[in-house]
Amino acid sequence: MRCFWDERQRAHKPAAEFFNGGLHPAAEHDGRVDAVLASLGSTETPVDLGMEPVRRVHGDDYLDLLRDAHDEWLAAGREGDAFPYTFPIVGRRPLSLSRIDARLGQHSFDTSTPIGPGTWEASYWSVQAALGALSAVIEEDRTAFAFTRPPGHHAGRDYLGGYSYLNHAAIAAEDALAAGRTRIAILDVDYHHGNGTQDIFAGREDVIFASIHADPSTDYPFFWGHADESVGNILNLPLPRGTDWNRYEPALTHAIDWLEESAPDLLIVSYGADTHEADPISHFKLKTSDYAPMARRIASMGLPTLIVMEGGYAVEALGDNVASFLSGF
């Protein structure tokens, strides 16, 4: 399988994240990169397709913030990574504010997603890896893998969160539509709900989105991913903590059957290995050997398929988990 990765994606080096009342070492760190690359063997460096595909999904104000936030943070006399600490509540009127803390709050929904000096560079090349793999899928009508890092599925049109800054699955879906595909299926199998992807495509007819994830009543991102959000082109299948393959497989079949009803002509898989039993921030019980049958079931849809990487933080097992998943295609 052709795999895409750019070394500039290493430039994002968050030191810490804030949750559960304290600062913790960042779970989305460089060790993930080495683990996944070791499992892939060779990768291809994507060509630079520029900003046009990014602008189909993300707004200019938000993109300006991603690019400038760390410089402004330093100019404000701060050190280290930029973090928001104040957020507008639902229904608060939109304001045009200039202080960096206000801008960060306007475009964030958590305190786990800092912006460092290399965040923009890494995110930009992560998008290009996704677009490179998409080109391979479209040209050759088969499956390709983009090692997108940092992840993307929590990022909305104008907000970051969940270690995500630019939404690769969404950007690739829009690019596939621009290339002439007519209906894109997105299947999100990360442990966490793909809230950004859902937000971006809710109400659309040309993109359908199914997500299997931990019940947001107990797990991040809490405010999205509930079963009753399954309306129109959205299907959410929340599962309880402790879910193993026996419980996961029927949900996967349900999601695939539902996606197939819309007769998509291209599939994008948001693959997260944080469903693994050893994941330090998650609570499912999938085993490394479960990812191959998961992938075979997805491959049975018979669609040209782009796989993008989302989460997966059990570094010791991460390479084997990715290799097991890709082997199923």
| Site residues (vs Zn ion, CB under 5 A) | 190-192, 272, 274, 311
**Percent of residues in the chain assigned helix, strand, coil, to nearest 5:** 40, 15, 45
Q: How far apart are CA 303 and CA 138, in angstroms?
A: 11
Alpha-carbon span 92 to 94, nearest angstrom: 6
- DSSP assignment string, 67-116: HHHHHHHHHTT--SSB-----PPTTPPP----SHHHHHHHTBS-SS--B-
Distances (CA, A) of 163 to 74, 166, 325: 21, 10, 22
Question: Which residue's CB is nearer to Zn ion, number 190 or number 199?
Answer: 190
Question: Cβ distance 46 to 81 under 8 Å?
Answer: no
Supply the minimum distance, in Å, between the C-beta of residue 111 and Zn ion: 17
Rounded to the nearest whole angstrom, what is the least distance from the CB of residue 191 to Zn ion in the complex? 5
Which CB, 136 or 307, lies closer to Zn ion?
307
Residue 200 and residue 175 in contact, taking contact as beta carbons nearer than 8 Å: no
Nearer to Zn ion, 149 or 192 (CB): 192
Return the number of the residue (123 or 135) whose C-beta is nearest Zn ion.
123
CB nearer Zn ion, residue 32 or residue 181: 32
Q: Which residue is nearest to Zn ion (CB)?
A: 311
DSSP state of 276: B
Distance CA 125, CA 11 (A): 10
- Least CB distance to Zn ion at residue 273 (A): 9
Residue tagged active-site, from 154, 168, 193, 213:
154
Q: Are 239 and 248 in contact (CB under 8 A)?
A: yes
Residue 233 · residue 201 · CB < 8 Å: yes
* Shortest distance (Å) from residue 294 CB to Zn ion: 15
Cβ 120 to Zn ion, closest distance in Å? 22
Is 192 an annotated catalytic residue? no
What's the closest the beta carbon of residue 272 comes to Zn ion, in angstroms?
4
In single-letter form, the type of residue at position 116 comes to G
Report how far residue 119's alpha carbon sits from residue 126's, in angstroms, rounded to the nearest whole number: 10
How far apart (Å, rounded) are the C-alpha atoms in residues 157 and 143?
27
The SS3 assignment for 29 reads coil
Number of residues that this document lists for the chain: 329
- Return the active site residues: 154
